[in-house]
Structure 1
Amino acid sequence: MIKRALISVSDKRGIVEFATKLSQLGIEILSTGGTAKLLRDSGLNAIDASDVTGFPECLDGRVKTLHPVIHGGILAMRSNPHHMEKIEQLDIKPIDMVIINLYPFKETISKEDVTLEDAVENIDIGGPTMLRSAAKNYPDVTVIIDPKDYDKVLEEIENRGNTTLDTRYNLALKVFQHTSHYDTLIAGYLGRGLKTFPETLTMTYEKVQDLRYGENPHQKAAFYREFGSQAGALGGGEQLQGKALSFNNINDTNGALELLKEFDKPTIVAVKHTNPCGVATAENIFEAYKKAYEADPQSIFGGIVAANDQIDGQTADMMKDIFLEVVVAPDFTAEALEIFKAKKNVRLIKLEDIKAKKQGYDMKKVLGGILVQEKDDALLEEIKTVTEKAPSEKEMEDLLFAFKVVKHVKSNAIVLVKDQQTVAIGPGQVSRIWALDNAVKNAHLDLKGSVLASDAFFPFRDCVDAAYKAGVTAIIQPGGSIKDEDSIKACNEVGIGMVFTGMRHFKH
């Protein structure tokens, strides 16, 4: 039976109504600070915790409930005769229910002008201690941290005088999940800006939505986002129309966004299965989309399209002619939105700050652990011409464009570009020459006069020979092979200009 409840909440939604019903059920209420005042002002008889402990709140409210009378009442195991004898000797009454939520630390550090002092003052000490005490003793104590649970708890108390053991267990689990999240936010805030990898890595994410399934229908999945600024990230976007995003939609769209952030001029990135299939830059977004589509009109079908400029009616009208899963852009004109209504299943995502670059870690889950590295935010160390012929100014523009794209293609990766438009892409092969052969074989545009980028060095001259045969006039690659001279010699033989960057971009 629940006879005594302790209430101390920062989030006061529904607490007066909940406490009123508890009181009507004959449950004695203890409280603290502002919660106690609110309850008393609402006509409820709330006993101040300091009257129970015999010790006043002190240190500007920092110390209220850190007292054996409180924690003994919460932690005493009702099935343990020694515990019950001891609290009776100490004149400690059991506390059967604890309703607490914590100081608003997350809300505090979300403010742009927050100071370290403000943040530290909003680190709750007594609240987590009481919550953990109650959750530890869940066989005897009901603990509530979320106002959403008030109705369920009341229903059970009204029907049986107490909550069920299953309910108490689930509420206790919810508490430990929340306090873990809370502490991780604190650790993350205090550790912000550290450039070294800590000995222990704690991270916390908040669920955005359950997904219909994962990469495949037999896999369950959900989407979580990290706390903090979502500028430039998919989690900060607004879905304007279409079905709910799937696991693959989110993964592919993220890949498109990461590549898109390499460009400042109007650019379209089309992605299929996390690899770009068409990328183009132009004077306006319509021309960019037209070029990206023409780069591979076959693979873009059922793909993801990301734009770094507003989608207008003309562009939307062209997009509607094929099946696209997702279109993400900083904005859509009213005309574009009207056109897309005819394609109600296409997911439109408005991401205003689409060019913003997020900092943080790049992580990959492996069996039994996690790999963590800095994000690959760099492009090159240098531009060093290593052949007799130097690339022309136009070729150099295309080479840099191609190197930005190849950085985001799965290794081994080859990208061919002409006039700021991908004309062939070869992703994810175990041999570099296979990547080049696949790119050339599946190209939809004329490759004569194109330039080539490789994500890593050429181990043999075979790629140069194949590139020349395809019509390539210039090459950009990291360099660093013990056989660099073989590739340089091959370029000189056929009049191809080649530059080294000194930086590779493996993407696995």
Structure 2
Amino acid sequence: MTSIPVRRALLSVSDKTGIVDLATALSGKGVELVSTGGTAKALRDAGLTVRDISELTGFPEMMDGRVKTLHPKVHGGLLAVRDDAAHAASMAEHQIGAIDLVVVNLYPFEATVAKGADRDEVVENIDIGGPSMVRSAAKNHAYVAIVTDPADYALVAEGTTTLNDRKRLAAKAFATTAAYDGAIARWFGQVDQGERFPATLPITLRRAGEELRYGENPHQHAAFYAATGDATPGIGQARQVQGKALSYNNYNDADAALELIAEFRDADPTCVIVKHANPCGVATAATLAEAYEAAFACDTVSAFGGIIAVNRPLDGVTAKAITGIFTEVVVAPDADAEALALFAAKKNLRLLLTGALPDPARDGLFAKSIAGGWLVQSRDAGRVLPADLKVVTKRQPTEQELADCLFAWTIAKHVKSNAIVYAKGGSTAGVGAGQMNRLESARIAAWKAKDAADKAGWGEPRTIGSAVASDAFFPFADGLLAAVEAGATAVIQPGGSIRDDEVIAAADAAGLAMVFTGMRHFRH
């Protein structure tokens, strides 16, 4: 059957949004309303005639509402194939009436977990009857419509449902119960049982908006999916003030910028410029405008068409400086009226306001698809403090060198391996990313620093007197010697190479100070 009139509807919702209006519309079409507990009360309070589920089943709601819809007169009315003679005979024999529409939304399990409820309350908010009704109705979508989202109430408010609508509603319903069960399974495995990597890892995502224009390249398809139950401030959750829709690459690069600027969320004004998911300039200064100018000066070529992120609300002076070149996306916690007005004149610039920055030390899992499966690991939330550092050279780093080392190290964590970062006075001097060997990364970063100095008319590159960070150990002394040639005076690296003694000796011979972190930050 294609179009089916609704004669009886079963309404049982935890979220009462819009339910009275829907029930009123259905009642006006002559639909019999059957309901449970709090939903029935809300409808009666609105002056509607409602039949209790206990009257339909002949059984009272019991056990604090745990048992009310788990009954043959409910599920028989949902699952019966209407034009099957045997099904019709069973319905007649057992006085089971057909139910043509089910409107259900489930107990707020994820919200209960999110508010920090105790274990008993969390378990009590595992819905049993709701998902059972949803699945029964969705399975029998040839005859029954199932609505799990108030946004779909308008589809059924006229009292008639089409097959195409019932198919779409059924697909949404099964996705809803899958996500719900996934959230429960994750909580039991990862939270209640403390298993970081349970034997089965349900991952449920919800598409946010329409498909993106294309993927990483025009011949690829793409969409953005938000993780259900994750309240972390992110690019997908940011308020887009202006500009055309974000592309796949915009999302990827803006996320890289957001993750890096989050490292500085409690620091002085800081600006990050990212291109193709790698930082090309980072600086901390007394004002955002000064931080932007210093970050931009690090690599004025790569900054064109890049992504900018800041750790403070944008002001007009900074916004004016940013609009001096073409920028794809700007990410900030907020922006003042002057900044908004200046950006409004740049219609192609996307401005994203996050309201807050994510916690860089937060827990979580990172997943990557490979042929035949997924690789899953914990987030790289590793950080080092001055007390964690081990000085391995004869010379101790100065206070300024130590600060530059830690600044460079923080940035190197977000640069694609092999990563080399030179920094001086709270600003990057040169960034070498993604090379197949550490020596080439060190040389490229130094060359970029010299190029930046030539363009700016400085007397010398900022690598002179800088600190250099390496995301992993120097396997040979050659990479360190390239840093010496560039003018670095301090080095921060994980250590752990079988040739550490050789590298330390080279540093001592050059008069460098070098510290080991004992932690590496590969980023592939």
**TM-score normalised according to structure 2 size:** 0.88
Letter of the aligned partner of 2:334 in structure 1? D
SS, match of residue 66 in structure 2: coil
Partner in structure 2 of residue 392 of structure 1: 398
Partner in structure 1 of residue 76 of structure 2: 72
Measured in 1, the distance between the counterparts of 2:90 and 2:338 equals: 75
> Do residues 471 (structure 1) and 478 (structure 2) align?
no
Partner in structure 1 of residue 513 of structure 2: 497
Measured in 2, the distance between the counterparts of 1:24 and 1:393 equals: 78
Give 1:439's match in structure 2, choosing from 445, 455, 458.
Answer: 445
- Pair 1:26–1:318, CA change in 2 (3 A): closer
> Do residues 425 (structure 1) and 426 (structure 2) align?
no
Contact 1:380 1:502 in 2 (8 A): no
Contact 2:424 2:466 in 1 (8 A): yes
Give 1:448's match in structure 2, choosing from 452, 464, 487.
Answer: 464
Contact 2:234 2:358 in 1 (8 A): no
Measured in 2, the distance between the counterparts of 1:116 and 1:497 equals: 52
Give 1:349's match in structure 2, choosing from 352, 363, 368.
Answer: 352
SS, match of residue 336 in structure 1: helix
How far off is 1:40 after superposition?
Answer: 4.4
- Pair 1:300–1:366, CA change in 2 (3 A): same
Partner in structure 1 of residue 268 of structure 2: 265
Contact 2:33 2:49 in 1 (8 A): yes
Partner in structure 1 of residue 457 of structure 2: none
- Pair 1:377–1:10, CA change in 2 (3 A): closer
Give 1:185's match in structure 2, choosing from 158, 161, 183.
Answer: 183
Measured in 2, the distance between the counterparts of 1:448 and 1:135 equals: 68
Identity of aligned residues (%): 52
Partner in structure 2 of residue 328 of structure 1: 331
Contact 2:110 2:229 in 1 (8 A): no
Give 2:409's match in structure 1, choosing from 390, 394, 403.
Answer: 403
Letter of the aligned partner of 2:252 in structure 1? N
Partner in structure 2 of residue 295 of structure 1: 298
How far off is 1:178 after superposition?
Answer: 0.8
Contact 2:26 2:159 in 1 (8 A): no
Map of 1:166-205 to 2, 5 A cutoff? 166-190=164-188, 191-192=190-191, 194=194, 196-205=196-205
SS, match of residue 514 in structure 2: strand
Give 1:8's match in structure 2, choosing from 12, 16, 28.
Answer: 12
How far off is 1:222 after superposition?
Answer: 2.3
Q: Return 414-423 or 188-197, whichever deviates more.
A: 188-197
Give the CA RMSD over aligned residues.
Answer: 2.5
Q: Please list every run of 5 or more consecutive structure 2 residues that lacks an aligned counterpart in the other structure.
A: 454-460
Measured in 2, the distance between the counterparts of 1:34 and 1:449 equals: 71
Deviations 1:52-103 (A, max 9, x none): 2111111222221111121122112234433332332222223232222223
Partner in structure 1 of residue 523 of structure 2: 507
SS, match of residue 442 in structure 1: helix
Letter of the aligned partner of 1:455 in structure 2? D
**TM-score normalised according to structure 1 size:** 0.91
Measured in 2, the distance between the counterparts of 1:61 and 1:302 equals: 58
SS, match of residue 209 in structure 1: coil
Partner in structure 2 of residue 160 of structure 1: none
- Pair 1:475–1:83, CA change in 2 (3 A): same
Q: Please list every run of 5 or more consecutive structure 1 residues that lacks an aligned counterpart in the other structure.
A: 158-162
How far off is 1:129 after superposition?
Answer: 0.8
> Do residues 148 (structure 1) and 154 (structure 2) align?
no
Contact 1:231 1:353 in 2 (8 A): no
Deviations 1:4-33 (A, max 9, x none): 332223334444444444445444333222
- Pair 1:188–1:448, CA change in 2 (3 A): same
SS, match of residue 95 in structure 2: coil
Measured in 1, the distance between the counterparts of 2:399 and 2:429 equals: 19
Letter of the aligned partner of 1:454 in structure 2? S
How far off is 1:154 after superposition?
Answer: 4.9
How far off is 1:314 after superposition?
Answer: 1.9
Contact 1:473 1:497 in 2 (8 A): yes
How far off is 1:294 after superposition?
Answer: 0.7
> Do residues 412 (structure 1) and 428 (structure 2) align?
no
